[in-house]
Amino acid sequence: MAGVVSVATGWLLAGEWRAQPLRMALAVLAIAVGVALGFAVHLVNSAALGSFGRAMASVQGRADLSVRAVAATGMDEMLYPRLARLPGIAAASPVVEVAASWGALARPGSPPAAGGRFTLIGTDFLRAMRVTPGLIGISAAGLSGVGTAPGWLQGRIWLSPALLGATGLKPGAHFRFTAAGRGHDLIIAGRLAGSGTEARLAVIDIAEAQDRLGQWGRVQRIDLKLAEGADTAAVSARIGALLPPDALLATPDGEASRADALSRAYRVNLGMLALVALLTGGFLVWSAQSLSVARRRPQFALLAVLGLPRRGLVGQLLIEGLILGLAGAAIGLVLGHALADLAVNRFGGDLGGGYFAGAQARLAFPPLAALAFAGLGLVTALAGSLVPALAAARVPPALALKGLGDGLDPGRRPRAWPGLALLAAGTGLAMAPPLAGLPILAYAGMALLLAGGVALMPALARALLAPLARIGSAWLPLDLAIRRLWGAPQAASLALSGIVASTALMVAMAVMVASFRQSVDDWLVAVLPSDLYLHLEAAEAGGLAPADQARLAAVPGLAGMRPQRVLSLRLAAGQPAVSLMAQGGHAAVPLLRRTTAPAPAGTTPALISEPMAWLYGWQVGEVRTLAIAGRPQRLHVAGVWRDYARQFGAIILPLADYRRLTGDQTITDAAFDLAPGADAGRVEAALAAALPPAVAGQAQFGRPGEMRRVALQIFDRSFAVTYALEAIAIIIGLVGVATSFSAQVLARLREFGMLRHIGVGRRQLLWMLALEGAGLGLVGAVAGVALGLGLALVLVAVVNPQSFHWTMDLALPWPLLAGLAAALVACAAGTAVVAGRRALGQGPLLAVRADW
For other proteins, the binding residues (CB under 8 A) are 77-78, 80-81, 84-85, 91, 94, 124, 126-127, 129, 143-150, 152-154, 205-208, 210-211, 216-217, 228
Q: Which is nearer to other proteins, 65 or 92 (CB)?
A: 92
Half-sphere exposure (Cβ direction) of 257: Cα atoms closer than 13 Å? 10
Q: How far is the CB of 629 from other proteins (least distance, A)?
A: 19
Rounded to whole angstroms, how far apart are CA atoms 635 and 632?
10
Which residues partner with 636 through β-bridges? 605, 623
Q: What type of residue is 35?
A: V
Least distance from other proteins to the Cβ atom of residue 154, Å? 6
Smallest separation, CB 331 to other proteins (Å): 53
- Tell me how far apart the alpha carbons of residues 478 and 625 are, in angstroms, rounded to a whole number: 72
Residue number with CB closer to other proteins (95 or 344) = 95
Nearer to other proteins, 225 or 805 (CB): 225
How far is residue 306's CA from residue 258's CA, in Å, rounded to a whole number? 65
Smallest gap from Cβ 168 to other proteins, in A, equals 27
Q: With contact defined as beta carbons under 8 Å apart, do 251 and 63 qualify?
A: no
Gyration radius of the chain over CA positions: 33
CB of 206 to other proteins, least distance (A): 5
**Shorter beta-carbon distance to other proteins: residue 239 or 828:** 239
| Residue 668 CB, nearest approach to other proteins (Å) | 23
Own/partner pairs, 844-849, CB within 8 angstroms, 24+ separation: 844/752, 844/753, 844/756, 844/757, 845/753, 846/753, 847/749, 847/750, 847/752, 847/753, 847/756, 848/750, 848/753, 848/754, 848/756, 848/757, 849/753
The DSSP code sequence of 322-372 is HHHHHHHHHHHHHHHHHHHHHHHHHHTTTTT--SSTTPPP-----HHHHHH
Q: Is the Cβ of residue 45 or residue 132 nearer to other proteins in the bound state?
A: 132
Q: How far apart are CA 163 and CA 199, in angstroms?
A: 7
Min separation Cβ 77 and other proteins, Å: 7
Nearer to other proteins, 148 or 713 (CB): 148
Beta strands in 49-88 (DSSP E): 65-69, 75-76
Of 48, 58, 32, 228, the C-alpha closest to 132 is 58
Q: Nearest distance from residue 704's CB to other proteins, in Å?
A: 41
Amino acid at 289: Q
Dist. CA 459–CA 466, nearest whole Å: 10
Asked if residues 229 and 198 have their Cβ atoms less than 8 Å apart, the reply is: no
Task: For the CB of residue 74, give the shortest distance to other proteins in the complex, in Å.
Answer: 13
| CA–CA dist 14, 832 (Å, integer) | 26
Cβ proximity to other proteins: between 127 and 295 the closer is 127
77 or 260: whose CB is closer to other proteins? 77
Residue number with CB closer to other proteins (185 or 809): 185
Nearer to other proteins, 206 or 235 (CB): 206
Give 195 or 604: the residue with its C-beta nearer to other proteins.
Answer: 195
Q: What are phi and psi of 141, to 5 degrees?
A: -70, -20
Residues in CB range of 547: below 8 A, 6 or more apart: none
DSSP-H helix ranges across 104-172: 125-131, 145-148, 161-167
CA-closest candidate to residue 119, choices 216, 222, 224, 195: 195
Kindly state the smallest distance separating residue 666's Cβ from other proteins, in Å.
17
Compare residues 77 and 479 and give the one whose CB is closer to other proteins: 77
Report helix, strand or coil for 452.
helix
CB of 64 to other proteins, least distance (A): 17
225/748 with CB nearer other proteins? 225
Minimum distance from residue 205 beta carbon to other proteins (Å): 8
Spatial separation of the C-alpha atoms in residues 819 and 412, rounded to whole Å:
35
Q: Give min distance, CB of 178 to other proteins, in A.
A: 20
**Are 8 and 316 within 8 A, CB to CB?**
no
Q: Quick one: 124 or 531, whose CB is closer to other proteins? A: 124
Residue 138 Cβ, how far from other proteins at the closest point, in Å? 13
Asked if residue 453 lies in contact with residue 283, where contact means CB atoms within 8 angstroms, the answer is no
Find residue 221's DSSP bridge partners. 68, 95
Rounded to a whole number of angstroms, the distance between the first and last alpha carbons of the chain is 26
447: three-class secondary structure by DSSP: helix
Q: CA torsion angle for 421, 468, 488, 836 (degrees, to 10)?
A: -130
Count how many Cα atoms sit within 13 Å of the Cα of residue 90 in the half-sphere of its side chain. Answer: 16
**CB of residue 95 vs other proteins: minimum separation in angstroms?**
11
- Beta carbon nearer to other proteins, 179 or 259: 179
Residue 832 φ/ψ, nearest 5 degrees? -60, -45
CB nearer to other proteins: pick between 153 and 432: 153
Q: State the minimum distance, in angstroms, from the CB of residue 59 to other proteins.
A: 20
Residue closer to other proteins (CB basis): 131 or 455: 131
Q: How far is the CB of 726 from other proteins (least distance, A)?
A: 57
| Inter-CA distances, 166 with 82, 116, 674, 773, 802, Å | 39, 8, 39, 60, 38
